[in-house]
């Protein structure tokens, strides 16, 4: 286990700093982890870019906190950041800020929590009859709760029954219902229905293009980049869809970049419909998302639940493995 780490703080000082790893964090802080560190008289956020057995620096201070259990950046993205800083002659800190959405970098937004209700215990006929006489509104709500086959948001149940929170709390107190707080995703397309479609029959030119791409997937390290050229409406998107399906079948992931945000909705519709059997397969990253939506979509990719990302320029830094 490494005793020290080298970090890049979220401030342009044009140098990397060494910190010691407290015993409580030993083995948990790795390359790509986000940490909170002391810097002069302040506390700043930083990204770990290297682990060290020893450090020549003097007066090394310990890390104050580890943010999250998993690293937020892969070693390959950090390597890309170094290349960009060198190629574009800009501070590495500036590049590092571009790799992570602000909502992830600042760690000020977390998961949205919501109360879910489910049946607790079955009420006897005698209890139900007594409840109907003494508290008819509770009895009405108990009827609705007893019919639940899975937990649902408490707000939705109260809206459906036109009853209030006090009635629900009374049922919980009697032991007939149970309330639990659960994290809920802020899906930017959660209210939309996507009708599943299937791969279309391609013409000869599309088939030739797909075969070429599939050949490149077998030798990604040596095959040159492929440019698919065609006028609007010539069927390029269908080639992309089937090529990405072939990519996923090989255990890899895909980034779909659109030239501008206004084109994102129609692209999302095509991909969400094609992969409708796996609702979490496609994630979206662009600047029109709310902070909460961007937080949840990024984590959907980071956790591996989503393996396709659609977005404009910044989506190229999506946290996807096995690209």
Q: What is the pLDDT of residue 12?
A: 84
Distance, in Å, from the CA atom of 9 to the CA atom of 48, rounded to the nearest integer, reads 9
Residues in the chain: 323
Q: What is the pLDDT of residue 165?
A: 92
Site of tokens 């600042």: 106
pLDDT tens, 281-318?
999 998 889 999 999 999 999 999 999 999 988 899 99
* Band (108; pLDDT cuts 50, 70, 90): confident
* Band (59; pLDDT cuts 50, 70, 90): confident
Distance, in Å, from the CA atom of 190 to the CA atom of 50, rounded to the nearest integer, reads 39
Q: List all residues 6 or more positions away from 223 whose beta carbon is below 8 Å from its beta carbon.
A: 215, 216
Phi first, then psi: what are they for 272, rounded to 5°? -65, -35
Q: What is the pLDDT of residue 1?
A: 64
* Token representation of residue 168: 């629900």
Q: Judge whether residue 6 has pLDDT over 90.
A: yes
* Band (48; pLDDT cuts 50, 70, 90): very high
Q: State the number of CA atoms in the 13 A half-sphere of 242 facing the CB.
A: 18
Across residues 276-280, what is the average pLDDT? Answer: 88
| H helix and E strand count, the chain | 11, 11
* Band (235; pLDDT cuts 50, 70, 90): very high
Percent of the chain with pLDDT over 70: 100
* Long-range CB contact pairs, 138-147, < 8 A, 24+: 138/167, 138/170, 138/171, 138/174, 141/167, 141/168, 141/171, 141/177, 142/171, 142/176, 142/177, 145/117, 145/118, 145/119, 145/171, 145/176, 145/177, 146/119, 146/122
pTM of the model: 0.84
Burial track 121-144 (b if 16+ CB lie within 10 A, e otherwise): eebeeebeeebeeebebbbbbbeb
* Band (261; pLDDT cuts 50, 70, 90): confident
Q: What is the pLDDT of residue 220?
A: 87
pLDDT tens, 134-157?
888 998 999 999 989 999 999 999
Distance, in Å, from the CA atom of 260 to the CA atom of 257, rounded to the nearest integer, reads 9
* Domains in the chain: boundaries: 4-100, 112-184, 204-317
* Band (46; pLDDT cuts 50, 70, 90): very high
Higher-pLDDT residue of 254 and 125 is 254
Q: What's 4-100's CATH class?
A: alpha beta
Higher-pLDDT residue of 72 and 323 is 72
Site of tokens 């397309």: 189
Q: Judge whether residue 109 has pLDDT over 80.
A: yes
Q: Which of 123, 139, 122 is nearest to 131 (CA)?
A: 139
Q: What's 204-317's CATH class?
A: alpha beta
* Token representation of residue 144: 């609705």
pLDDT tens, 158-202?
999 999 999 999 999 989 999 999 988 898 888 888 989 999 999
């Amino acid at each position: 286990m490494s005793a020290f780490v080298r970090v890049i703080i979220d401030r342009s000082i044009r140098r990397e700093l060494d910190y010691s790893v407290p015993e409580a964090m030993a083995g948990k802080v790795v390359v790509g982890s986000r940490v909170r560190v002391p810097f002069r008289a302040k506390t700043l956020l930083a990204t770990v870019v290297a682990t060290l057995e020893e450090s020549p620096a003097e007066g090394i201070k310990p890390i104050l906190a580890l943010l999250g259990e998993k690293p937020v950046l892969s070693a390959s993205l950090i390597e890309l950041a170094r290349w960009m800083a060198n190629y574009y002659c800009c501070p590495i800190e500036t590049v590092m800020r571009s790799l992570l959405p602000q909502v992830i970098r600042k760690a000020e937004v977390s998961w949205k929590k919501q109360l879910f209700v489910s049946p607790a215990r079955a009420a006897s006929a005698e209890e139900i009859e007594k409840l109907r006489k003494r508290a008819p509104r509770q009895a009405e709500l108990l009827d609705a709760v007893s019919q639940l086959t899975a937990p649902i948001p408490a707000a939705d149940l109260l809206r459906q029954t036109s009853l209030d929170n006090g009635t629900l709390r009374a049922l919980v107190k009697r032991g007939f219902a149970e309330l639990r707080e659960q994290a809920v995703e802020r899906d930017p397309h959660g209210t939309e229905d996507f009708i599943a479609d299937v791969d279309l029959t391609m013409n000869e030119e599309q088939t030739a293009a797909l075969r070429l791409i599939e050949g490149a997937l077998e030798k990604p390290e040596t095959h040159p980049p492929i440019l698919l050229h065609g006028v609007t409406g010539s069927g390029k998107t269908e080639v992309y869809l089937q090529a990405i399906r072939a990519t996923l079948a090989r255990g890899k992931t895909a980034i779909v970049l659109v030239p501008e945000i206004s084109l994102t909705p129609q692209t999302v519709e095509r991909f969400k419909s094609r992969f409708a059997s796996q609702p979490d397969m496609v994630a979206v990253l662009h600047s029109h998302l709310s902070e909460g939506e961007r937080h949840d979509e990024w984590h959907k990719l980071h956790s591996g639940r989503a393996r396709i990302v659609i977005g404009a320029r910044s989506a190229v830094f999506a946290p996807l493995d096995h690209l």
